[in-house]
Amino acid sequence: MIRHLAVFLAAAAGGALLALLLRAAAYDPHASHPPPAPPAAPAEHPAEHPAEHAVPTVNRICPICGMPVDPRLPTALYQGQRIGFGCSACPEEFARAPERYGPAALANRVAGD
């Protein structure tokens, strides 16, 4: 009887250990957490808040990277017109040199073309 009890307890402990190891191997700590939000633009930055990006832009092509404008990205104002961008790095680049990229955006082309 004692031997049967010992075998049962050993099997239960081994099964629990195996289940623990399998669960630890399959655990993804980032699966339940959303990715961090990008940093907010400074107040003096011409890019608008992401919530305001639903307004149509004057361009369909990013004047910096040449990609199609992504409506989910922040926009910028240039000469009263809303400019859209193709990637998340472009609004910051536009803020550094709006006179370089602004005319290209209004003409719906890539700067330097």
Residue 39 within a domain: no
Q: Which range marks the domain in which residue 90 is found? A: 50-106
How many angstroms separate the CA atoms of 55 and 34, rounded? 26
Residue 15 within a domain: no
- pLDDT at position 85 is 94
Which residue's entry shows tokens 């922040």?
74
How many angstroms separate the CA atoms of 28 and 9, rounded? 31
**pLDDT averaged over the chain?**
83
Which residue's entry shows tokens 């009890």?
5
Residue 70 within a domain: yes
Checking if the pLDDT of 77 tops 50, the result is yes
**Model pTM above 0.85:** no
Number of domains present in the structure of the chain: 1
Residue 94 within a domain: yes
φ, ψ dihedrals at 14, nearest 5°: -65, -40
Residue 2 within a domain: no
- pLDDT at position 51 is 45
